[in-house]
Amino acid sequence: MGRPPCCDKANVKRGPWTPEEDAKILAYVSRHGIGNWTLVPQKAGLNRCGKSCRLRWTNYLRPDLKHDNFTPEEEECILELHRTIGSRWSWIAKQLPGRTDNDVKNYWNTKLKKKLFNMGIDPVTHKPFSQIFTEFGKLGNLPSTINQNALLNTEPRIKPEPLLLPQKFPNANNLQIIEHMVGPFLFRGIEQNEEDYKIRGISSPDDISSAVVQEETPLHAATSIIENEVNDKAGVSCYGLKPEPEAMRYMESSSSAADSFLESILASDRDALEFPELLDGFCDY
DNA sequence: AAGCCGTGCAACCGCACATGA
DNA sequence: ATCATGTGCGGTTGCACGGCT
């Protein structure tokens, strides 16, 4: 026996909202505030499901919502957070004032996924397709010549652009949010200089751009972050967590830099296969 | 002008979780 | 501890719209 429906679906209106219905919601909320949404249709004089009213309010009518296009900074923020925590749209949306989870989800599905795909990057893992094919070939114990062919055949239609990690996300409570995602007290900062990496503490709550996870993290977030650290340690550039000065050079330079960027990724694929010990050392937590 | 197709986005669905009796 | 109910969330659908043939 399933859960009873929240309303009589046969007798409530569905589909697009009219301006009159919007006005009723706005008038009701301005007068009574947000309370029990199941009572809103009745009290506001709407023949709608309460859930539908809540959705209309949170996704469209709320006065603090932005209705303009996403900025490049917001786009970078979405890409980075998706790479780190996956499709947790509500969390990502909380980093973007005035945006809803529905906004972010739609933007991802209609724009960013395609953009990454055209750059030769798998939107799910944020890894280059070449790397995925390489790993797949390794798992299947395929001859190396097949792997090489796979690499050659998966060159992106558009040269990959490095993603410049936003140094500071719009909200100040990022650390708390990420701590919630992967558990508190598990962070340390990592900073790159010319010679080596310095492990340091996070200096401010909004400086989470370089946070790495030490232990007891959800598999997806942990593996993603660890992989990037591995690549950095191996002297290989990676998407998203590229140190800012290097990223800036890529941003400012010509297409030849894009070529070398692609080459560095392909090189990292080969390094990972030839020197598996580079990976092993970082998994001993 | 009409039909087709791709795109963007609002809205819906169903499940999971939170909360209070 | 259990159940009922409200809320949050991610995935998916459906429709309006514009461009193209």
Q: In three state form, how does the secondary structure of chain A look?
A: CCCCCCCCHHHCCCCCCCHHHHHHHHHHHHHHCCCCHHHHHHHHCCCCCHHHHHHHHHHHHCCCCCCCCCCHHHHHHHHHHHHHHCCCHHHHHHCCCCCCHHHHHHHHHHHHHHHHHHCCECCCCCCEHHHHHHHHHHHCCCCHHHHHHHHHHCCCCCCCCCCCCCCCCCCCCHHHHHHHHHCCCCEEEEEECCCCEEEECCCCCCCCCCCEECCCCCHHHHHHHHHHHHHHHCCCCCCCCCCHHHHHHHHHCCHHHHHHHHHHHHHHHHHHHHCCHHHHHHHCC
**pLDDT block averages, 10 residues each, chain A of length 285:** 57 86 88 85 88 89 87 89 87 89 90 85 83 72 44 34 38 38 31 29 32 34 38 32 31 33 40 38 29
What pLDDT shows up at residue A139? 66
What pLDDT does A259 receive? 36
| Distance of C1' in B19 from CA in A54, Å | 19
The reported pLDDT for the residue numbered A4 is 53
Q: Which nucleotides of B are covered by protein (CB under 7 A)?
A: 7-15
Query: CA-to-C1' distance for A110 and C21, Å?
Result: 24
Distance A18 CA to C16 C1' (A): 15
What pLDDT is recorded for position A140? Answer: 60
